[in-house]
Amino acid sequence: MKKVKAGLIAAITATVLAACGSSETKSEEKGETWREIQEEGEIVVATPGTLYPASYYPEDSDKLTGYDVEVMREIGKRLDLEIVFEEMDFDSMFASLTSGRVDVAPAGMREEIKDKYSYSEPYKYSYATMIVREEDVESYDSLEDLEGKVAGGAATTVYSDIAEKFGAELKTYGNVTNDVYLRDVDVGRTDVIINDYYLQRLALESLPQLDVTMHPDLKFHTNNQRAVIEEGAHTFRDKIDGALDEMRKDGTLTELSKEFFGGEDVSQKPEEDIREIEGIE
């Protein structure tokens, strides 16, 4: 992705700036990210390719699509850059961003990493909910009832953090499709999934044969989706934010949202009564 020569120049420049001790100049040096991307003519984006409807392959199709995917493609068009997708599981995204393998990792902002990267403005708003077996709905009056349950999830997501905070045992998965998570709840390998409301609602609609359901009352942890990029790459971030602002104003974000989320506009903040969780950001 990045040229070796460019990386060498950046390393030399960083060394010189460190000797100078100028934080302002160091910040400006990070502006090289945007120039490098322009020279390459592309933005490399990490994506799972297995998460309907954010990033997935439709049945009988080899073309990647989804809300996150098409938002990134539209940003590329407006910045006159090609979008190249690197498929990987969520746990690999930030390591790939740090190493320079990718330029963008679509994700939410988390407390333990928020100072390590730069973030665009949100292009998706949502909140978390729980998927449980239908016969077990009444066993969950609150998040505190997760104590002793087995929760399915990826190892480093905020949803897994929530499950563990309330005493659940975590069963982790790699880069698998949503139906794997849901089938494991159905057959009893796990008890619960904590995840994004909009994603899980659509997943359940596509698998009506499973004896699982979304808890009707438990809504918690507002969250959003952003383009996560290299820390300090302010020019690049501003370019992405500019494209997203145009997409909000001309209705493109709303159109894409309604296309992939069953008519819902996830580009707007939800108006639900949602429980926030202390210690989880």
Which sequence spans correspond to the domains of the chain? 4-124+225-260, 126-222
pLDDT in tens, 55-81: 999 999 999 999 999 999 999 999 999
- Fold exhibited by the domain 126-222: D-Maltodextrin-Binding Protein; domain 2 (3.40.190)
Task: State the residue for tokens 């909009």.
Answer: 198
Task: State the residue for tokens 């730069």.
Answer: 118
Share above pLDDT 90 across residues of the chain, in percent, rounded to a whole number: 74
**DSSP string for residues in the chain:** ---HHHHHHHHHHHHHHHHHT-HHHHHHHTTHHHHHHHHHTEEEEEE-S-BTTTBB--TT----BSHHHHHHHHHHHHTT-EEEEEE--HHHHHHHHHHTS-SBEEE---TTTTTTEEE---SEEEEEEEEEEGGGGGG-SSGGGGTT-EEEE-TTSHHHHHHHHTTPEEEE--S--HHHHHHHHHHTS-SEEEEEHHHHHHHHHH-TTSSEEE-SS--EEEEEEEEEEETT-HHHHHHHHHHHHHHHHTTHHHHHHHHHTTT--TTS---S--B--TT--
The pLDDT value recorded for residue 18 is 41
The pLDDT value recorded for residue 149 is 98
Share above pLDDT 70 across residues of the chain, in percent, rounded to a whole number: 88
Task: State the residue for tokens 């020019």.
Answer: 235
The whole-angstrom distance between residue 24's C-alpha and the CA centroid of its chain comes to: 30
Which of the four pLDDT bands, split at 50, 70 and 90, describes residue 11?
very low
Compute how many other C-beta atoms are within 10 angstroms of the C-beta atom of residue 209: 6
272 versus 18: which is more confidently predicted?
A: 272
Q: Assess whether pLDDT exceeds 70 at residue 19.
A: no
Which of the four pLDDT bands, split at 50, 70 and 90, describes residue 279?
confident
Homologous superfamily of 4-124+225-260:
Periplasmic binding protein-like II (3.40.190.10)
Which of the four pLDDT bands, split at 50, 70 and 90, describes residue 31?
low
Residue type at 69 in one-letter notation = V
Whole-number Å distance between alpha carbons of 273 and 177: 30
The pLDDT value recorded for residue 272 is 81
Which of the four pLDDT bands, split at 50, 70 and 90, describes residue 91?
confident
Which of the four pLDDT bands, split at 50, 70 and 90, describes residue 84?
very high
Which of the four pLDDT bands, split at 50, 70 and 90, describes residue 111?
low
The pLDDT value recorded for residue 178 is 86
Mean predicted lDDT score pLDDT of the chain: 88
* Contact by Cβ (8 Å): 101, 84: no
Q: Assess whether pLDDT exceeds 70 at residue 12.
A: no
Whole-number Å distance between alpha carbons of 97 and 41: 18
The pLDDT value recorded for residue 24 is 41
pLDDT in tens, 113-132: 778 999 999 999 999 999 99
pLDDT in tens, 209-243: 999 999 999 999 999 999 999 999 999 999 999 99
Any residues with CB less than 8 A from the CB of 211 and at least 6 apart, and which? 133, 134, 135, 186
Structure tokens at 247: 């997409």
Which of the four pLDDT bands, split at 50, 70 and 90, describes residue 16?
very low
